[in-house]
Structure 1
């Protein structure tokens, strides 16, 4: 099964043909529109099997799957945390789509990893979090961000998810350390000299067979984030 996570930086209903070239089975998309407000037959055909959450109808989180992929929403209270979509895929494994975006004013970078930690703490005993699941999306987490508390919270998040045997797959496959990533997933203001690694996939170490990160030459024309493309 092939899965893609991508922050489209808005306008996904116009940009989605580019990501369809990956021919994935599941797409986890951040900053995308609610299909119910889009008058586009092509987009509606693409979004025939999906879940979407958001307050701004043009900037939410969506999970889109091919029609032959069964995705069932898991009944978990988000406890006011934004934005998470928990689903069961093909009655086989759990998938949590993530776009950390806390509901608060001012500087948020301290709290991005805390959102995931809080969600985990709320539901770690529900059975949803387990060693066979996948957590992926735009975490907005990179220990290189200026605020030291953010970095501390990133390591706390990693430690919490490790309780269920989940690891950051990029770091597991490359052997690189947090903050030393050689391949960015995000370019601040779409500038090549402002790279960060904000998008992540957590799973059991051997669940992901292959991981590719989109090339900046192609994707910066569409978004400040690169897609993460992987197979299980």
Structure 2
């Protein structure tokens, strides 16, 4: 199965044909429109099998799948945490789509990863979190930002390791290059779309024996569409 996670940076109804060229089974898209309010027939057709969450109808989190993929929304209360979509896929594994977006005035950068640890703590005993699951999306965090932010990123990694989940980028590239958290040489985000402002804020967590392939797409192909590049992986 092929899965893509991408922050489309808005106007996904116009951009989805580009990501369709990558031919995935599931698309986890951040900053996308709610298909219910769209007047694009093509976008509505693309979103025939999906779940979406958000308050701004033009900037939410969506999981979209081919029609032969079964998505079942799990009954987990987000407790006001933003944004998470928990689904079961094909009665086979759980998938958690993530776009951390704290609902706070004057949100500090350090708070973003806390959304994930809070969601985990709320639901770790529900059975949803397990070693067969996948978590992916825009976490809005990078250990290179240092201080309390870096500490909170490390807390996310530590918490998710309790159920056997690892940062797949670090797992794969550490084997090849020795890269560690905060030393990633393949950015996923370019602030203001500037190549000299690279960060690694998009993540995939799963069991290391589940991944078959991972691609962090190239900036020169995607920066005309978004400040993030897609993460494409196969399981």
Q: After superposition, where does 1:13-52 map in structure 2 within 5 Å?
A: 13-52=13-52
Q: Give the superposition deviation at 1:106.
A: 1.4
Matched, 1:222 2:217: no
- TM-score normalized with structure 2 length: 0.97
Q: Give the superposition deviation at 1:108.
A: 2.9
* Secondary structure class of the residue paired with 2:109: coil
- TM-score normalized with structure 1 length: 0.99
Aligned twin of 1:184: 187
Mapped to 2, the partners of 1:135 and 1:208 lie a distance apart of 12
Aligned twin of 2:158: 159
Change (3 A) 1:83 1:89: same
Count of aligned residue pairs for this structure pair: 231
| 8 Å contact kept, 1:102–1:108 | no
Deviates more, 1:101-110 or 1:171-180: 101-110
* Secondary structure class of the residue paired with 1:80: coil
* Secondary structure class of the residue paired with 2:220: helix
Mapped to 2, the partners of 1:142 and 1:177 lie a distance apart of 12
Deviations 1:162-215 (A, max 9, x none): 000000000000002111000000001000000000000000011111000111
* Secondary structure class of the residue paired with 1:217: helix
* Secondary structure class of the residue paired with 2:105: coil
Unaligned 5+ segments in structure 2 are none
Q: Give the superposition deviation at 1:107.
A: 3.7
Q: Give the superposition deviation at 1:24.
A: 0.2
Mapped to 2, the partners of 1:56 and 1:64 lie a distance apart of 18
Instruction: Point out 4+ residue stretches in structure 1 off by more than 2 angstroms.
Output: none
Mapped to 1, the partners of 2:162 and 2:112 lie a distance apart of 20
Q: After superposition, where does 1:46-125 map in structure 2 within 5 Å?
A: 46-125=46-125
| 8 Å contact kept, 1:138–1:198 | yes
Mapped to 1, the partners of 2:58 and 2:42 lie a distance apart of 17
Deviations 1:6-40 (A, max 9, x none): 00000000000000011000000000000011111
* Secondary structure class of the residue paired with 1:177: coil
Unaligned 5+ segments in structure 1 are none
Q: After superposition, where does 1:108-147 map in structure 2 within 5 Å?
A: 108-145=108-145
Mapped to 2, the partners of 1:185 and 1:52 lie a distance apart of 23
Mapped to 2, the partners of 1:178 and 1:92 lie a distance apart of 30
* Secondary structure class of the residue paired with 1:140: coil
* Secondary structure class of the residue paired with 2:85: strand
Deviations 1:133-185 (A, max 9, x none): 0000000110112x510000000110000000000000000002111000000
* Secondary structure class of the residue paired with 2:14: helix
* Secondary structure class of the residue paired with 2:42: helix
Mapped to 1, the partners of 2:182 and 2:8 lie a distance apart of 23
